[in-house]
């Protein structure tokens, strides 16, 4: 890989503090771009790349089957690279800045209806079974706090205060936030900790496996999926869907948008506003089901 590109990737991880996943995606996209630009043994001169070169590459990737969303990510990687070069004084303009792609229609976040999650959380659980209590707590944490999968896995035991009814979450870019919770969740945390005392814990995390090690993503995913499926839920049943459900429930029950933004750990209000569309969609659905004239056709009722 070009040394300057490698330096950019180091910068994104060490100075911008982006996640390893984001850096790996940048690396993959820039690897493909470099391979295209150096095809046939041509040297890569970053300063001589034009807007037309970038358009040709995106057309090439489209011909290889990349969807519009993937193309957008690749363009973002190039824009970030050239922003970095401009910041370092190595470029005067960003050749990727003026390249435009068709805007994507953003799908509304998927969520689970309240009665479905209630069925999961109201189900009988063996209070002496470590696995059952832990799995129940996993679902409850997602639904009652809206934390991310990575945040749940990394949640430290000392960060959960059942007396104050709050937990400290380390979110994206290592930013901490405080999330409150209620009495029921506090009781389940206490019960879980009592049972965890019988497990050979090997870490400082709140949630652990039967062997005392931190939970891992596939295990948490299966816990959530199986719990929701057992209550009759269908479609995508993931931890992130429970996060969407938390936000939707909060807004449906009168929470302020800014408060939900802070609880979710969003950097901008725009990321949270999508949930207002979900609540309006749900409101429309409920109206059509409940109002006697909502589905009236052609201005009159047939006999």
Give the residue numbers annotated as catalytic, written as ranges. Answer: 148, 172, 240, 243, 266, 275
- Tell me the DSSP string of the chain: --HHHHHHHHHHHHTS---HHHHHHHHHHHHHHHHHHTTTS----GGG--HHHHHHHHHHHHHTT--HHHHHHHHHHHHHHHHHHHHTTS-SS-TTTT---PPPPPPPPP---HHHHHHHHTS---TT-HHHHHHHHHHHHHHHH---HHHHHH-BGGGEETTTTEEEEE-GGG-EEEEE--HHHHHHHHHHHHHHTTS---SSBSSB-TTSPBP-HHHHHHHHHHHHHHTT--S---HHHHHHHHHHHHHHTT--HHHHHHHHT-SSHHHHHHHHHHHHHHHHHHHHHH-TTTT--TTS---
């Amino acid at each position: 890989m070009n040394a300057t590109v490698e330096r950019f990737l180091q910068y994104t991880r060490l100075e911008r503090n982006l996640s390893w996943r984001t850096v790996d995606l940048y690396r993959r996209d820039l690897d493909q771009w470099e391979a295209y630009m150096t095809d046939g043994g041509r040297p890569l001169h970053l300063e001589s790349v034009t807007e037309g070169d970038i358009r040709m590459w995106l057309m090439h990737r489209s011909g290889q089957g990349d969807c519009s969303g993937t193309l957008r990510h690749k363009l973002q990687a190039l824009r970030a690279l050239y922003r970095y070069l401009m910041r370092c004084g190595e470029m005067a303009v960003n050749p990727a800045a003026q390249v435009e792609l068709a805007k994507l229609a953003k799908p509304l976040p998927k969520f689970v209806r309240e009665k479905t999650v209630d069925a999961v959380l109201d189900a009988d659980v063996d209070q002496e079974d470590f696995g059952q209590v832990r799995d129940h707590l996993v679902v409850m944490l997602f639904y009652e706090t809206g934390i991310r999968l990575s945040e749940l896995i990394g949640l430290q035991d000392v960060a959960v205060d059942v007396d104050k009814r709050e937990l400290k979450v380390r979110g994206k870019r290592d930013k901490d936030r405080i999330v409150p919770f209620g009495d029921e969740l506090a009781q389940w945390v206490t019960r879980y900790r009592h049972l965890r005392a019988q497990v050979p814990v090997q870490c400082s995390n709140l949630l652990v496996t039967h062997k005392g090690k931190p939970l891992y993503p596939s295990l948490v995913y299966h816990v959530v999926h199986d719990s929701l499926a057992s209550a009759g839920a269908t479609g995508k049943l993931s931890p992130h869907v429970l996060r969407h459900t938390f936000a939707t429930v909060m807004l449906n029950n009168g929470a302020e948008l800014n408060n939900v933004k802070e609880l979710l750990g969003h950097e901008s209000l725009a990321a949270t506003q999508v949930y207002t569309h979900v609540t309006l969609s749900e409101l429309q659905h409920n109206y059509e089901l409940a109002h006697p004239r909502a589905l009236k056709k052609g201005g009159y009722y047939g006999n």
